[in-house]
Amino acid sequence: MLTKHGFDKLEQELLRLKTERQSVITAVAEARAQGGVRKSADYEAAKDRQGFVEGRIQEIEGTLSVAQVIDPDEVDGGGKVVFGATVQLEDEESGDTVTYQIVGEDEADLKQGLINISSPIARALIGKKEGDTAEVQAPSGIRRYEVVAVSYR
């Protein structure tokens, strides 16, 4: 599963990589033309980059071909936490608040507040609504979070 935003980002990355593909092929050819393929650091670096680009293109194409895309703007979760929802939480112990959006594995990025649907915190939040408490098993023990707000954006 991917959010609409995550799908669009992967499509943009795919387009960028396909554009980069030609310059990588040219770099490999130029390094080969300089001779001494066995000992050329430029050739090895270009081949490594080519391998990465081709692998990532295949990975993204595979993901996009089977992706179930969900647009959070069109979700009617009835106030409950569902895939694509943005959730504001308050740590009951510290009082700190955090905001997360529940997304697919391929778009998760904790620094941007995007958490994987299969993460412990997301699993604990699914089905909860404003005012509910979610208990999450953390390395330091069980953490309790109050659901402050749920939105679909």
Residues 80, 147, single domain; the answer is yes
Q: What is the pLDDT of residues 104-141, one digit of tens each?
A: 998 999 999 999 999 999 999 999 999 999 999 888 88
Whether residues 52 and 103 share a domain: the answer is no
Mean pLDDT of the chain: 92
The per-residue b/e assignment along 46-65, b for 16 or more CB within 10 angstroms, e otherwise, is bbeebeebeeebeebeebee
Q: Are residues 76 and 66 in the same domain?
A: no
CATH code (residue 61): 1.10.287.180
Whether 30 shows a pLDDT value over 90: the answer reads no
Domain that holds residue 32: 2-70
Q: Which two tokens stand for residue 18?
A: 């396909």
Residues 82 and 45 in one domain: no
Going along 95-140, which residue ranges are E strands? 97-103, 114-116, 133-138
Residue 65 sits in the same domain as residue 130: no
Q: At what angle do helices 4-33 and 41-66 cross, to 10 degrees?
A: 150
Q: In this model, does residue 10 exceed pLDDT 60? A: yes
Q: Considering only residues 60 and 27, tell me which one the structure prediction assigns the higher pLDDT.
A: 60
Q: How many CB atoms lie within 10 A of CB 3?
A: 22
CA 70 – CA 3 distance, rounded (Å) = 5
What angle (nearest 5°) sits at the alpha carbon of residue 10, between those of residues 103 and 97?
30
Whole-prediction pTM: 0.77
The phi, psi pair for 144, rounded to 5°, reads -115, 130
Q: Which CATH number do you get for residue 137?
A: 3.10.50.30
